[in-house]
Structure 1
Amino acid sequence: MPASSIRWPLRPRGRLTRPRRTRLALSLGAAATAMGLLGACGGGGSHPANVVATGQAPSYYPADYSQVIEASKREGGTLAIYSNTDQENWAPIFRDFRRKYPWITKISANNLDSDEVFQRVLSEQATNGSPADVLVSNAAQGWAEFAAKKGTVMEYRSPEADKLPDFATLLPNVYTMSVDPLGIAYNSSMLPKEPTGIQDLADMVAGDQGKYRNKITTRDVDGAFGFTVSHAFTTARPGSWASLQRILPLARPETSSGTQLEKIISGEYYAGFFISAAPAYPMIANSGGLLKLAFPKDGTVVLPRGIGINAKAPHPATAKLFTDFVLSEEGQRALAEGGLTSYREGVESREDRRTYQELVRQVGAGNLVFVKYTHVADDQVKAFVSRWNGLLGQ
């Protein structure tokens, strides 16, 4: 199947240069470096280490799961992941997965754009096959289109499925790895106060348009991620267009949360909205209080990060072990330590672990906007993008 069959239908308009995200292979050495960086972010030293049962599956797994473990031992200790997840987020997960299954010594994880994960696999499958074992992305539209194609996602029911909430299954054979909220990131030296929501931010910037012109950033809706989160918010909160009509004329779009966060820290932007908490948490910890993140009380978007196994995975047993691990309580603790948001009951919220339960307590379940993994028709996409971009300042 050609990659063009899932290509995002809209192309950037040329306002900004679309940066290519750095491709990162996390070998053992690179993972160790990432863990050192993560440790420098603070938090972990004063807390007990995550407890992992080496070589043992949980007691509620089926008896024949031992066959999956033994099959993994014969696969050469290798796992390849295609994802849009940063190294700081992966580091504790890889650390504890290798502790649990010590024969797995080579884990590679590239860092692609959210929808490029699927384009890459489709392109490779159309030629000599893809080396990817596991796919991880929060591109809801991309997952919906990819999983609908025959022979793309392996049929696999995780033994963890019965222990998880309904939203843990996003699509057949596609599970929720984490539920990452999006918030308003801001430079605390540039804003007079913490914005409590999108309407509050609109009130703040509209009161002094000269000061805030080109000082607010949002995600480019010409890309899959930006469209997904912005469309989900306005669909759930149609009244928010009144606030967006005041914010967007002062805003500039970017294609990467990392770029947005760096520019907010530098003061090039004062604030940005619909910014993922996953890359923000490590940068907040290192900013000395300069970078802060607020979750809107008038609607916090929650974007599930999907995980599935390539139907033609070169290392299928190891891919199953990894999928089950990140859904387990052990894996969810490691995941939360790396800045992703765990949703499994039993994972303790603390300074270095972010959980869905903590988010609910902070903003209220009724104020959360969950992104659904459903396909949006092309005409609806174009209408939304046209309306959004028509409001942006030039």
Structure 2
Amino acid sequence: MSGLIGRLRGRGRPPFAALAAGLGLAALSLSACGGGDAPPANVVATGSAPSYYPADYAQVINASKGEGGTLTIYSNTDQENWAPIFHDFQKKYPWVKKISANNLDSDEVFQRVLSEQATSGSPADLLVSNAAQAWAEFAAKPNALMAYKSPELAKLPKFAQLLPNVYAMSVDPLSAVYNKTLIDQQPDTLQGLADLVAKDQGKYRDKITTRDVKGSFGFTVSHAFTSARPGSWAALQKILPLARPETSSGTQLEKITSGEYVAGFFISAAPAYPVAAKSGGLLKITFLKDGTVVLPRGVGIAAKAPHPATSKLFADFLMSQEGQRAVAEGGLTSYRGDVETRKDRHTYQELVSKVGESNVIFARYAEVPGAEVNAFVSRWNGLLGH
């Protein structure tokens, strides 16, 4: 693939998902997802859509019943994130017996589909990735995505539609993570971190981590932050000379836990939440009150999806109240206002309550010109310590 996908390479998931990726498509069937249990309370009615859907939606449901009961998703999303979603979807639509979802790199989702389409055709029904620029490039291609307007749109915030025919599955924030035993204080702003490390550069040299901006994930979130907060370069000039980049949130979390780093910023909260919960209080997660980047996870239906009706059911379910509950239960961040925040279920409303809506920075699903990419990467990496 040309454009930014060819220029930047990055991972949208932590390294502990590598084993699952090596196994290829992992099928989560009803039995694997607790099919013998009673339907969960958040599933409204088996085999039927919400009452506010149009009457002719029954045709979509009936068509799905004739598609063989399978669904294939190309994604960069881990199996533990998918598990409650598949469980509840299959409870609601029990004729869908097998859902296969792989674990690819964030850009590889699109590369694989394009490669398969150029030869014998692709088995992919839906695409899920948080590679914002790659999505923008892919969605602009003729006949890449099925034209589909979800009946859930009227119930969702405007930011739920990322591009034509591309919707938000989740809106995952970027966090700052600290090893509480190794840092004098735990600032909750980027400027606060800059002021802290500037007081003792020797102590913090090579002890701060951020995401590698040569990868598409790192570029997207870092570029979004500085574009929204151009004055932040003054703080970055203090932090980056003491920092080291990493290519995944998983690696960053491992090294903060071990003490190789004392803190890191622009770390995906989705993998950070469970690691911090299991750290025995060693790790603290916070969100920057001078700007927290949110990276939506996009979902779209392939133009030549082998199971188009079932794909529509699944996309609509993801955006429904019951689907967004399952999204949050899987460790990602829900964005519907009617999904309740709980200790084990994170929501956009929770983030807003912590940093204020004016301090939420959405990473845009738009392709960045190559010259701008190169200029940003050069400026950022030019500040890093070596």
**TM-score, normalization by structure 2:** 0.92
- Determine the structure 1 residue equivalent to 2:37: none
Deviation, structure 1 residue 83: 1.3
Give RMSD over aligned pairs.
2.1
- How many percent identity over aligned positions? 72
Correspondent of 2:145 among 153, 157, 162:
153
Equivalent residues of 1:8, 1:115 under 8 A apart: no
* In 1, Cα distance between equivalents of 2:48 and 2:276: 36
Greater CA deviation, 210-219 or 338-347?
A: 210-219
Q: Is 1:126 aligned to residue 124 of structure 2?
A: no
Aligned length: 374
- Determine the structure 1 residue equivalent to 2:377: 385
- Secondary structure, counterpart of 1:158 in structure 2: coil
Deviation, structure 1 residue 244: 0.7
User: Which residue identity lines up with residue 331 of structure 1 in the other structure?
Assistant: G
Q: Flag the 1:51–1:20 CA change in 2: closer, same or farther, 3 A.
A: closer
Correspondent of 2:83 among 81, 91, 94:
91
Deviation, structure 1 residue 173: 0.5
Deviation, structure 1 residue 210: 2.0
* In 1, Cα distance between equivalents of 2:91 and 2:70: 14
1:326-380 deviations in whole A, cap 9, x for unaligned?
A: 1000000111111111111211111111111111111101111111111111000
Equivalent residues of 1:88, 1:282 under 8 A apart: no
Gaps of 5+ in 2: 35-39
- Determine the structure 1 residue equivalent to 2:319: 327
Equivalent residues of 2:242, 2:385 under 8 A apart: yes
* In 1, Cα distance between equivalents of 2:4 and 2:307: 25
**TM-score, normalization by structure 1:** 0.90
- Determine the structure 1 residue equivalent to 2:339: 347
- Secondary structure, counterpart of 1:28 in structure 2: strand
- Determine the structure 1 residue equivalent to 2:257: 265
Gaps of 5+ in 1: 13-17, 36-47
1:51-71 deviations in whole A, cap 9, x for unaligned?
A: 442111001111111111122
Equivalent residues of 1:72, 1:317 under 8 A apart: yes
Greater CA deviation, 304-313 or 187-196?
A: 187-196
Equivalent residues of 2:17, 2:103 under 8 A apart: no
Deviation, structure 1 residue 206: 2.1
1:273-312 deviations in whole A, cap 9, x for unaligned?
A: 1111112122222222222211001101111111101111
- Secondary structure, counterpart of 2:120 in structure 1: coil
* In 1, Cα distance between equivalents of 2:127 and 2:31: 19
* In 2, Cα distance between equivalents of 1:7 and 1:254: 19
- Determine the structure 1 residue equivalent to 2:6: 8
Q: Flag the 1:69–1:29 CA change in 2: closer, same or farther, 3 A.
A: closer
User: Which residue identity lines up with residue 323 of structure 2 in the other structure?
Assistant: G
1:256-279 deviations in whole A, cap 9, x for unaligned?
A: 112211222222222111111112
Q: Residues 218-237 of structure 1 correspond to what in structure 2 (within 5 A)?
A: 218-237=210-229
Correspondent of 1:102 among 94, 103, 117:
94
Equivalent residues of 2:73, 2:128 under 8 A apart: yes
* In 1, Cα distance between equivalents of 2:204 and 2:80: 32
